[in-house]
Amino acid sequence: MTGFAFAWQGQSLQMRCSGALWWPAGRWLVVADLHLGKSERMARRGGALLPPYETAETLRRLGDELDALDPAVVISLGDGFDDDAAAGALDADALCALDGMARARDWIWVAGNHDPAPTAPLPGRMLDAVALGGITLRHEPQGDGPDISGHYHPVVRLAGARRRAALIGPQHLILPAFGRYTGGLDAADPALSRWVAGGIAVACVHRALPLPLPAPVRQRGRPLRPLP
């Protein structure tokens, strides 16, 4: 058991160490910011030629979660593609993998700022937002919520490194980016912390580890185990 189960807005939820959110009530699996096709988009725009393997890598990790949980609905919380054209530029292997995963379940692509209207036909439905159990699922947090969103790619510092983390505030729940080629914004950044003040973070490492948000100063001088 590597997830972190918690109650939020009257719902039982589980944060997975993969960075996905599992909502057992309706067997919903929510992932944010897949950014599929990122390397292709950068190359298309005359930028760097990054190793073109991130889409396969992201879909492989998503496939592992599907195998483990068998969700009825998969919701991509926006920025599923690095831009609208990236959806049309996926290679045959990626399309085949996506088709296979979307078979026999509902698949919802929520629009993000990177992919407001993907140009290619994709398996599943496209929506601007989804309402589930009194909670709105959208790309960016809004107003008083309650909503579940992505967009910011939150990270926290833990054990000497930046780790992907979900941020759980009283009214807003912000998921980490699931995509392989994604960076992170520190949870202490005002652009992010203003949505989730007084909440907690769940760091996605080998386990989903809850910690207070924002993190207090690191502590030194812990007691040692004695020498045998």
Site for other proteins in 27-86 (CB under 8 A): 39-40, 43-44, 46-54, 56-57
Closer to other proteins by CB, 95 or 211: give it.
211
Q: Does 104 bind other proteins (CB under 8 A)?
A: no
- 3-class DSSP state of 136: strand
Site map for other proteins, 142-171, x if CB under 8 A? Answer: ----------xx---xxxxxxx----xxxx
Angle between helices 54-69 and 92-102 (to 10 degrees): 20
Considering the complex, what minimum distance in angstroms separates the CB of residue 199 from other proteins?
A: 5
Q: How buried is residue 138: exposed, middle or buried, by Cβ count under 10 Å (0-12/13-18/19+)?
A: buried
**Beta-carbon contacts of residue 197 (< 8 Å; ≥ 6 apart):** 169
Closer to other proteins by CB, 138 or 163: give it.
163
Q: Does 218 bind other proteins (CB under 8 A)?
A: yes
Closer to other proteins by CB, 39 or 71: give it.
39
With contacts defined by CB under 8 A, name the span among 63-71, 118-126, 132-140, 214-222 that binds other proteins. 214-222
DSSP assignment of 55-111, as one string? HHHHHHHHHHHHHHH--SEEEE-S-SBSSGGGGGG--HHHHHHHHHHHTTSEEEEE-
Closer to other proteins by CB, 103 or 218: give it.
218
With contacts defined by CB under 8 A, name the span among 66-74, 103-111, 125-133, 212-220 that binds other proteins. 212-220
